[in-house]
Structure 1
Amino acid sequence: MGWIFWIVIGAIAGFLAEKIMKADMGLLMNIGLGIVGALVGGFLINSLLGFGDGEGLIESIVVATIGAVLVLWVVNKVRERTAA
């Protein structure tokens, strides 16, 4: 699948993660977060559970969203520590 597909998946995953975590971020941050989340989610699903080839649209969105939620959680924790 092409890079435009992954940008769209990243935007969707970032948006969903933003809503799940009740964060307030912009479109570019959503795309970046979703792309990083797709990488993190894909790595975790593939290495820990041994499946997840990322071929299906829904599977890709779910995996990317899980990864984006994890990345957003880590970012929030780092921000809390630096603010304190």
Structure 2
Amino acid sequence: MGILWLVIIGTAAGFLATRAMKMETDIVVTMAIGIAGALIGGLVLRALLAVMGAAAGFIGAILGSLVLIWLWKTYGNRS
């Protein structure tokens, strides 16, 4: 159930993060960004999750996705 929850939350977070950063991506990239962001945010905000509950995990997933998109736009998309 944990992996399924990560995919669901990560997909939603990736969608919100890509829209917030005005980035147009396909569904696979959006899911990948969200899941990676959920992992990053989950690791960084694990202590916050213990204090605030499940809402902190969703906030962490969005923040992690935003950081990942920022890094991608800044360093990864050099043509």
Moved over 3 A (4+): none
Q: State TM-score, norm by structure 1.
A: 0.79
**Is the CA contact (8 Å cut-off) linking 2:41 and 2:57 kept in structure 1?**
no
> What is the root-mean-square deviation of aligned Cα atoms in Å?
1.9
Aligned to 1:64: 61
C-alpha distance in structure 2 between counterparts of 1:35 and 1:3, whole Å? 10
Identical aligned residues as a percent: 27
Normalising by structure 2, what TM-score? 0.83
How many residues get paired? Answer: 78
CA contact (8 A) 2:45 2:56 kept: no
Unaligned runs of 5+ in 2: none
For structure 1, the 5+ residue unaligned runs are none
2:24 corresponds to which residue?
Answer: 24
